[in-house]
Amino acid sequence: MQGQCPHIQTPRGNLKGSAIMIKKYVFGTPFPTNAVVTEMETAKDKLPFLETDNQGTFTYALSENDIVYGLGEQIRGINKRGWQYVSWNYDNPNHHEDTRSLYGSHNFILIRGDVTFGAFFDYAGKMEFDIGYTRRDLMQIRAAKNDLVVYIITGENEKDIVKQFRKIIGRSYIPPFWAFGYGQSRWGYKTEQDIREVAKQYQAAGIPLDSIYLDIDYMERYKDFTVDTERFPNLKVLAEDMKQQGIHLVPIIDAGVKIEKDYDVYEEGVQNNYFCKNAEGGDFVGAVWPGRVHFPDFLQPDARKWFGKKYAVLTEQGIDGFWNDMNEPAIFYTEDRLADTCAEIEKLTSGNMGIQEYFAFTGMVAGLNGNIGDYDKFYHNVDGKMVKHSEIHNLYGMNMTRSAFEALQEICPEKRTLFFSRSSYIGAHRYGGIWQGDNKSWWSHILQSMQQLPALNMAGFLFTGCDTGGFGCDTTEDLMLRWLQYSLFTPLFRNHAADGTREQELYRFNNVAAAGEMVKIRYSLIPYLYSEFLKAALHDEMMFRPLAFDFPEDAEAAQVEDQLFLGNELMIAPIYKQNAQGRYVYLPEEMMLVRMKSYDNYETEILPKGHHYVPVALDELVFFIRNQKAIPFAEPAESTAKTDLSTLRLLGYADASYELYTDNGVSPDPEDSLSVSTL
């Protein structure tokens, strides 16, 4: 990044007791993103804390002990110091430590140090965050163009700053109660019989199950809003049969619409100019699962409404949950780039292909997928003006999610529909949840998922979780057990794997009993998890927090990167290393350790503040209850529909109480049926 401003002096000082405020600063002519829903006047004073060159670059001098939180779905820990991150929604399942972009862009950061403040950079195009990467003592943030809005938030502490930010971006999506149950998914359930067999085997194993996911295999040649009637002859009957077993079917919807004559979605989109355009004014052509596709122009209100109404094709067959995928949008290739690449490869392979030619060959093939140059080739119609996609790229998935959410409010006005997406921008949290994208069966991806949770909560995304067991690669029994012991705490609890990988349904493992007990413990914890979720959503708070947010004066707590507070009562500290038989934890206060092999087979121990080594067997769950706190704990049920709140007991410190939030789990507005009681 250019313009390093090496002599910048950032004002320092303790903000405690100072005015709590949010200020809005406008640069250039920003594109309206719809991320912030609160009307605010533009500030007239100079932008505080950050220096700007008025060319889209913002600079901040970092003190040695400054911590930088935020950026939502990104890699490299809770503290983002020391790396360069790029906000550019990107289909990248192979996220190693050198990854800079993932599936979502969430441009909110919170700096904790001599000065503690939050900053939201509301910009829909490519944005770089150099947080001590080029120079450890310098943070530089650069937008591709100087057309953006910057919000600066100050407050009493980190939690207060997040709460204020969450208030201006709107209430987080709240899913139906059944969405907190366990879900089984796989790209590779190719027939109705596959679905029925999964349900049968889970029932035989005695493992609770609330949902089975339909990946792209259920469609007719990967066409949105179609069902392959040879492989799924009667989806409506299948959905009804599953519901009688307490299981909801959740199909996938992709962004690309197959180009095919007499396919209604394609024909209607062309006829009404609902697709993104190329530079010549024709419908832009990319390629994903069906081959050649058009992309709906979700920035057009009419196109959003049209596409959203198509979900009725599936709700009419008994479907009450969806997940949107490939909506960055992912592009496998464009025809002109493919033709150019094939021509170059023909030249390279016509003679002796040495090392340089070989690297050029593999690089060109790999460069087809998600090539950033392809996003300059198509346009959106925004109030009659053609806007290049690359300038608003990060809004695409958000507006696809909005399309479905708003339509489903009309299609199914009497109930909540489960909905989550792969791609997102701040603001999408109002319309649905997200899962953390295609991951791998790597131990490191347990930790990576956990470290994303606080930053996602800061950005409003509460209903989230990762692909338990890993999507790509082959999982192992010990990895699955450890992953379950983490994921059973996240709102979205889904086992998902890719076609061609090892089958990882829990009943396939030798130690199916231990896996089943982990799921049953999840069902025992659902009353607590759902209650804390409602509190976080209704009060604009974080469900998952770094330890330092609750213990700001504890220097050791600020260094902890692999433990989180969950609500106000729990602390989680999962195992995320192969063959580990335990782990070290840091307790910033006295806590109760709970060691659990099943919901009715556990022991507790009071541990004092400080560092502890905690043995954890492969078949047991360990978590911590905070000092003088208790949580509600129920008998596990076969599905969420059979959850019996009359079996609730308190687990934790004697004489502690708990404020329980419940609702009917269905009403579009949970406050219509909200009940608050003290246990």
Please, which residues have CB within 8 angstroms of residue 651's CB and are 6 or more apart in sequence?
594, 625, 630, 631, 632, 633
The token pair at 252 is 């996938």
**Is the confidence at residue 160, as pLDDT, over 90?**
yes
Is the sign of the CA dihedral 662, 668, 673, 674 positive or negative?
A: positive
What is the per-residue pLDDT for 669? 95
Q: What angle do CA 85, 89, 92 make, to 5 degrees?
A: 85
Please, which residues have CB within 8 angstroms of residue 330's CB and are 6 or more apart in sequence?
91, 255, 288, 369, 370
Distance (Å, rounded) from C-alpha 622 to C-alpha 297?
Answer: 47
325 is catalytic: yes
Distance (Å, rounded) from C-alpha 638 to C-alpha 245?
Answer: 9
What is the per-residue pLDDT for 348? 84
The C-alpha torsion from 202 through 205 and 207 to 210, rounded to 10°, is: 20
- CA-closest candidate to residue 669, choices 537, 479, 509: 537
pLDDT in tens, 150-159: 999 999 999 9
Distance (Å, rounded) from C-alpha 475 to C-alpha 372?
Answer: 32
336 is catalytic: no
What is the per-residue pLDDT for 394? 98
Q: Which residue has the tokens 């003679």?
A: 351
Binned at pLDDT 50, 70 and 90, residue 516 comes out as very high
pLDDT in tens, 489-504: 999 999 999 999 999 9
pLDDT in tens, 239-276: 999 999 999 999 999 999 999 999 999 999 999 999 99
Catalytic one among 328, 374, 467, 638?
328
Q: What is the mean pLDDT of residues 184-211?
A: 98
pLDDT in tens, 561-604: 999 999 999 999 999 999 999 999 999 999 999 999 999 999 99
Question: Is the separation of the CB atoms in 494 and 463 below 8 Å?
Answer: no
pLDDT in tens, 416-465: 999 999 999 999 999 999 999 999 999 999 999 999 999 999 999 999 99
What is the per-residue pLDDT for 20? 64
Catalytic one among 283, 297, 325, 517?
325
Binned at pLDDT 50, 70 and 90, residue 349 comes out as confident
Please, which residues have CB within 8 angstroms of residue 75's CB and are 6 or more apart in sequence?
83, 95, 97, 99, 102, 448
The single-letter code of the amino acid at 37 is V
376 is catalytic: no
One-character DSSP codes across 547-560: HHHH-TT-TTGGG-
Residue 105 has a CB neighbour count (10 Å cut-off) of 32
Residue 7, CB half-sphere, CA atoms under 13 Å: how many? 0
* Phi, psi dihedral angles at 486 (to 5 degrees): -90, -55
Average pLDDT, the chain: 95
Q: pTM of the full predicted structure? A: 0.96
- CA-closest candidate to residue 663, choices 642, 645, 651, 650: 645
The token pair at 29 is 């002519």
**Is the confidence at residue 16, as pLDDT, over 70?**
no
Distance (Å, rounded) from C-alpha 351 to C-alpha 28?
Answer: 52
What is the per-residue pLDDT for 251? 98
One-character DSSP codes across 231-298: TSTTHHHHHHHHHHTT-EEEEEEESPEE--TT-HHHHHHHHTT-B-EETTSSBP-EEETTEEEE-B-T
The token pair at 355 is 């090392």
In Å, what is the CA distance from 490 to each residue of 317, 436, 624?
Answer: 29, 12, 16
**Is the confidence at residue 18, as pLDDT, over 60?**
no
pLDDT in tens, 644-672: 999 999 999 999 999 999 999 999 999 99
What is the per-residue pLDDT for 6? 35
Judge if the upstream peptide bond of residue 608 is cis by omega within 30 degrees of 0. no
B/e letters for 464-493, b = 16+ CB within 10 Å, e = fewer, are bbbbbbbbbbbbbbbbbbbbbbbbbbbbbb
> Which neighbouring-strand residues pair with 545?
565
Residue 247, CB half-sphere, CA atoms under 13 Å: how many? 26
Strands (E), 44-103: 51-52, 57-61, 67-70, 83-87
Strands 591-598 and 601-607: antiparallel
Q: How far is CA 345 from the centre of its chain?
A: 38
Binned at pLDDT 50, 70 and 90, residue 93 comes out as confident
The token pair at 580 is 């580990």
Residue 634, CB half-sphere, CA atoms under 13 Å: how many? 23
Q: Which residue has the tokens 């490519």?
A: 126
Q: How far is CA 156 from the centre of its chain?
A: 28
Is the sign of the CA dihedral 216, 222, 224, 228 positive or negative?
A: negative
- DSSP label at residue 333: B
Percent of the chain clearing pLDDT 90 (strictly above) = 91
pLDDT in tens, 608-632: 999 999 999 999 999 999 999 999 9
Out of 284-298, 358-372, 515-529, least confident range = 358-372
Please, which residues have CB within 8 angstroms of residue 527's CB and are 6 or more apart in sequence?
632, 633, 634, 643, 645, 648, 660, 662
Q: Which residue has the tokens 């320092």?
A: 12
The token pair at 369 is 């997928």
Catalytic one among 128, 194, 391, 438?
438
**Is the confidence at residue 7, as pLDDT, over 80?**
no
Percent of the chain clearing pLDDT 70 (strictly above) = 97
Distance (Å, rounded) from C-alpha 352 to C-alpha 34?
Answer: 54
